[in-house]
Structure 1
C-alpha cells in the first residue's frame, strides 16, 4: 500500500490537471475575444500559455521547494517531446484529409523558432559547465538569452500574423459572460493547476525513491506526461471543431513557452545555474524535440498525402520512432 500511494497521488494530480486544463482554455478564449485579441493569436500565445501553466508551477516547485532540479528540466523538455508526438494522434484522427495538407504554412515559423530555442537548451546542458558556465549571482548568463529568443519568436509570429488574413473564430463557449466572470473562472481553473503542479514534484520524488528510478527519468516521462494532459485535451477538442491550426499552434506555442519556463526556473533555483546542475541525459530529450520539429517542417513543405492503411503517414511514423528512441534512452539512464 505504501508503494501504491505515490502512484495514487500522481493519478489524482494528472486528473486534476486534465479537468482544469480545458476549463482554463475555454475561459482563456473568452477573455481573448472580450478584450479584442487576435483570433489566430489564441492558439500560439493564450492557449499555449494556459496549457503550459502545469509545467511552469511544477518547475518552480521542483527547484525552489522540492529541490529536484532534474524533475523541472525533465518536465519541460519531456513536455516538448510529448507535444510533438501528439501530432501523430492528430494525424490519425484527421481521416478526411492528411493533416499536413490542412494546416497553415505559418506554423513553419513557430517550429523553426522551436528548433532554435530547444536546440540552444540542449547545447547549454552539454557545454554550459566548467569554463563555459557563466553566471550572475546564481543565474546562468544563458537564461536571459533564452528569454530574449522567446520574445523574438513571439514578435516574429505577431509580425507574420499581421501580414496574413485572420482565420475565423472557432471556440464560442461562454460568449455571454462578462470579462470579470471569465477572469474569475480562469483564475479558479489556474488555481487548481497551480496546486496540482506544485505537488507533482514531491510525488515524482516519492515515485523515484520507491521504484529506484532516477529523477531525470521520472521528470521526462511521468511528470511531463501528466503536465501535458491539457495540451492533449485541448488539441483533440480543437481538431474535432475543425480548428486544426489552433491545435497545431497550441502544441508548437507550448514548446516555446516551455523553454521560457526553464529560464524562469533558473531564477527560482538558488543553488547555481539550473542547466549546469542537471543530468546531461536531458540533452537527449532536447535534441529529440529538435529532430521532431525538423520532421514537422519537412512535412509542412512537402505535404505528403500517402497514408498507411488510411491511418497515418510516414511523417507520423518518423515522429513516433524518434519519441520511442528518446523514451528508451531515458529509461536506460533511469535504471
Structure 2
C-alpha cells in the first residue's frame, strides 16, 4: 500500500507540473508580447528562475542541514549540464528543423555569460585553482560575489540588447502592429495567472524530488543506476515540461531562453550558497572532479553557440540536428564515465 501511495503522489505531482507548466509558458508568452520584453528575456529570467527555485531549495538543504557541500555543487553543475542536454530533446520534438536555427541570435549573449560563469566556478574548484581559490573573506570565496555579479550583468546586458533590437526592428518596420498574438489578454490578468502557475510549479518542484527519492528507496533502486537515472529524470520534469510546452506554442526563444537562463541561475546559485556555508569556501570544499563537469558544460555551450551562428537548415539524421546529437552524445558519455569511475 505505501508503494501505491508513492506512485500516486508521483503521478499527481507530474500531472500538476504538466498542467501548470504548460500554462506558465502561455502566460509568459503573453507577458513577453504585452511588456515588449520579448520571449528571449522572459525565458532567460522569469521562467528560468521559476524552474530553478527547486534546485536552489535542494542546495540550501544540502549546505545547511545535510552539511554536504560536495552534493550541493555536484547537483547544480549536473543540472547545468542536463539543461543543455534537454536542448537535444527539444530538437527532436521540433519537426520544422534544427531548433537552434529557429532561435534568435541574441541567445549567443546569454551563452557567453554562461561560459564566463562556468569558467569562474571551474577555475575555483580546480585544485590550487588559479582564480581566487585561496582568497576568501569570512569563509566566502571572492569568486562567489563575482558569480552573482556576472549573473546580474548577464541579465542586464540581455535586457538592453533585446530592447535595442526591438527598437531597431520597429524603426525599420513602422507598420508593425503590436499585441497581435494575444489581443484578448490583458497585462494584469496575464501577470496574475503567471504568478499563480509559477507558485504551483515551484511547490510541485519542491515536492517531486522527495517523492522520487522515497519511491526509489521503497523499490530498492536507491543504490543502483536505475535509482540514479530515475530520480534525475523525474527531478528535471519542470524544465522538460516548460520547454516542450513552449515549443508547442511556437515560442522557440522562450524554450531556449529558459534552458540557458536556468544554466546561468544554477551556477550563480553556487555563489549564493557560499554565503550560507559556514565551514569555508563552498567551491573549495567540493571534489575536484566537479571541475570536469564544468568543463563539459563549457564544451556543450560551445556547440550551442556554433549552431546558433552556423544555423544549419536540415537535421543530421532527419530527427535530430548534428549539434543536438553531439549534446546528447556528450551527456550520455559523461554518465557512462561516471558509472565506470564508481564501479
Alignment TM class, shorter chain as reference: 0.7 to 0.9
> Counterpart of 1:99?
99
| Structure 1 residues 153-211: Cα deviation after superposition (integer angstroms, max 9, x where no partner) | 1111112112112897799699467479537624641661464278479869979x985
Q: Does 1:270 align with 2:278?
A: yes
Q: Output the CA distance in 2 between the equivalents of 1:135 and 1:197.
A: 36
Pairwise mapping of residues 13-52 of structure 1 onto structure 2 (< 5 A)? 21-22=21-22, 36=35, 38-40=37-39, 41-52=41-52
* Number of the residue aligned with 1:135: 136
| SS across alignment from 1:132 | coil
CA distance in 1, matches of 2:206, 2:305: 36
1:243, distance to aligned residue in structure 2 (A): 0.8
* 1:309–1:146 distance in 2 versus 1, CA, 3 Å: closer
Give the conservation status (yes or no) of the 8 Å contact 2:50–2:198: no
Can you list the C-alpha shifts for 1:119-169, whole angstroms capped at 9, x where unaligned? 221221114679933222222221001001111111111121121128977
Compared CA separation, residues 280 and 44, structure 1 to 2 (3 A): same
1:232-281 C-alpha deviation (Å, 9 max, x unpaired): 11111111111111111111111111111111221222222111112222
Q: Which secondary structure does the structure 1 equivalent of 2:320 belong to?
A: coil
Separation (CA, whole Å) in 1 of partners of 2:179 and 2:111: 23
Query: Retained in 1: the 8 A contact 2:69–2:282?
Result: yes
How far apart in 2 are the matches of 1:20 and 1:125?
Answer: 37
RMSD, matched Cα = 3.8
Other-structure match for 1:62:
62
Alignment of 1:1-335 (within 5 A): 21-22=21-22, 36=35, 38-40=37-39, 41-127=41-127, 132-165=133-166, 175=185, 178=189, 181-182=192-193, 185-186=196-197, 188-189=199-200, 192-193=203-204, 195-196=206-207, 199=210, 211-212=222-223, 225-335=233-343
CA 1:9–1:61: 2 relative to 1, 3 Å: farther
2:174 matched residue in structure 1:
none
Cα gap change, 1:183/1:107 in structure 2, threshold over 3 Å: closer, same or farther?
closer
Preserved contact between residue 54 and residue 206 of structure 2 (Cα < 8 Å):
no
Question: 2: distance between equivalents of 1:89 and 1:165?
Answer: 29
Query: Is the radius of gyration larger for structure 1 or structure 2?
Result: 2
Measure how far apart 1:28 and its partner are.
5.8
2:37/2:163 contact within 8 Å kept: no
Output the TM-score relative to the length of structure 1: 0.81
Question: What is the TM-score with the length of structure 2 in the denominator?
Answer: 0.79
SS of the residue 1:153 aligns to:
helix
* Structure 2 residues not aligned, in runs of 5+: 170-177
Whole-angstrom CA distance in 1 between matches of 2:342 and 2:281: 23
Q: 1:144, 1:263 within 8 Å by CA — same for their partners in 2?
A: yes
After TM superposition, where is structure 1 displaced by more than 3 Å over at least 4 residues in a row? 1-34, 127-132, 166-184, 197-207, 209-214, 221-227
Offset at 1:225? 3.9
